[in-house]
Structure 1
């Protein structure tokens, strides 16, 4: 990689949950985790820690090994297609109350730029058509096609509920024919050797619930779509996320959620473990997103935010938020006000 600022490579920027999901994806394809993790300084304990973050150097080292081990050049795109909204922690954006599909696309771009900063993005629209151009700001070199395909696959997955007529343009070649790529995303266009990496997509016709389309509604539709055949563990995870999102306060406990789902707390923990997470991880991820949005976009006092999110006092909230982000709530709010 051609990056001049070596110190930036060492900064933990990316949630370890992405690396964990990628390792699981590769293991299902017969690639042992130990091979991918060797010489990366990424450990199993980091992958299993919901609060851990990894550096660009660590993730790119693992991706470089995976890239030459993948026996199908479409694999990176397929991995991206597994990164749905909950995978990115986007449920936290529901607190904004946005009910416009256009705003959803904008939020997806905003989140990915911050939450998964392997590439930068530019978003612009022409009428009802959106164009998201991917920019390699790190100098990924030979790894750029792999990362680009991951982003394209995920953007397709999270945008498909409100958009169609996807057109993928890749600034590199492919040895597979167009029909082979279209088998991954039917009714989409794939173009290679383009002047840039860009995905274009058109908003679908407005649904009947034009004025009440929310992120919750979109997720429910996605969950119940005929083509979605999630297992019981994944279905439980989706239900838990929805419940925590709607009630992240003190009543949001394992026992209460299990009672609402009409299952035992033990069964709930087993389902979440099978889905690769835990109740604590789910709740903290959503509470962190809610807290950041409150701090950046509202003037709600810190003690009120702490109460809304189920903390006994402001000090406990501050301690938790610092553990999640490395910053205090007060620092985040001050920085937000400086930039507005």
Structure 2
């Protein structure tokens, strides 16, 4: 295996990419928490914007997602969501770059550092730009997934300056060829080629005399995400309000979604976009209610458990201890002392 051994466990990939991938799968109705758990990744690490994941962890995450996504083109489509904003390139010097070839080269050099799963080699011949992918690691069956993520991202980034793309892959066509030909109007896809490569002709493009096209792209991308996140934050607020009204057994995802006139899948998707999870919101509400009952009332523990939707006192006590590190009895005794 290339770069094997301990190198696989060295933190190299920003958690930004893991968060984007979980958001991607959640929009398709897949529980991101399950993907994380099956990949053996602690959710707490994603809350640290400065944290990094190892190549092994990223591969485990992508592998679990691929098992659940029922679309052979999903990895390419995820790559398309890794635009300038997805790579954290806002404020990058691209805005001032007027030469198309230099702009593409700058993007390639940035990606080689920020997403070092594959290396990228760029060639310019006349009006044709060619970007070839080289393996840094032996990904095995996951290689098509990694290659497609890169290709999708190249398409998203280079669409600023190129009108047509030809993607060449060195593996057989996964699934039906029709789905690949429908990725975008400007895309042609070929399989069983000598290498993983994208060809981008620049002919017909005019050298721009200002940065309006890139600035407009950035503004549109930021606006789309802000609008989507604002709507999702509103849904998250409504979910919390409904759980506060009935924190017990009626606070299931299915019943909350029904009250909001939405499907459970749609609720999960919005919560994912708002970087929240249904179970976490419900636990926070239940913890708040439980602590208030314990500190301010003499309600028996079994009644508190029943009110919060637990089948018995033992289940409630176990949950409360996992939230606070203390048992309900300890909280109540401390109040009386």
TM range (shorter): 0.5 to 0.7
- Structure 2 spans left out of the alignment, 5+ residues: 231-271, 277-337
1: distance between equivalents of 2:99 and 2:218?
17
- Structure 1 spans left out of the alignment, 5+ residues: 237-272, 278-340
2: distance between equivalents of 1:101 and 1:83?
20
Matched, 1:55 2:51: no
Q: TM-score, normalised by structure 1?
A: 0.62
Aligned match for 1:218, one of 214, 220, 223: 214
Matched, 1:30 2:29: yes
* Alignment match, 1:123: 122
Superposed displacement of residue 182, structure 1: 2.4
Equivalence map 1:80-159=2 (5 Å): 80-94=79-93, 97-159=96-158
The 3 A distance-change label for structure 1 pair 41 and 175 is closer
CA contact (8 A) 2:23 2:273 kept: no
1: distance between equivalents of 2:23 and 2:11?
21
1: distance between equivalents of 2:177 and 2:19?
31
1: distance between equivalents of 2:32 and 2:273?
18
Superposed displacement of residue 90, structure 1: 2.0
Superposed displacement of residue 26, structure 1: 1.1
Superposed displacement of residue 43, structure 1: 2.1
1: distance between equivalents of 2:138 and 2:50?
27
Superposed displacement of residue 185, structure 1: 1.4
Superposed displacement of residue 157, structure 1: 0.6
Q: TM-score, normalised by structure 2?
A: 0.63
2: distance between equivalents of 1:51 and 1:234?
24
Equivalence map 1:274-285=2 (5 Å): none
CA contact (8 A) 1:169 1:198 kept: yes
The structure having more radius of gyration, on CA atoms, is 2
Superposed displacement of residue 148, structure 1: 0.5
User: For this pair of structures, how many residues does the alignment match?
Assistant: 235
- Across the aligned residues of Structure 1 and Structure 2, the Cα RMSD in angstroms comes to 2.8
Superposed displacement of residue 190, structure 1: 0.6
The 3 A distance-change label for structure 1 pair 41 and 224 is closer
1: distance between equivalents of 2:64 and 2:46?
17
CA contact (8 A) 1:161 1:222 kept: no
Superposed displacement of residue 35, structure 1: 2.5
2: distance between equivalents of 1:158 and 1:167?
15
- Single out whichever of 125-134 and 91-100 deviates more from structure 2: 91-100
Equivalence map 1:135-214=2 (5 Å): 135-203=134-202, 205-207=204-206, 210-212=208-210, 214=211
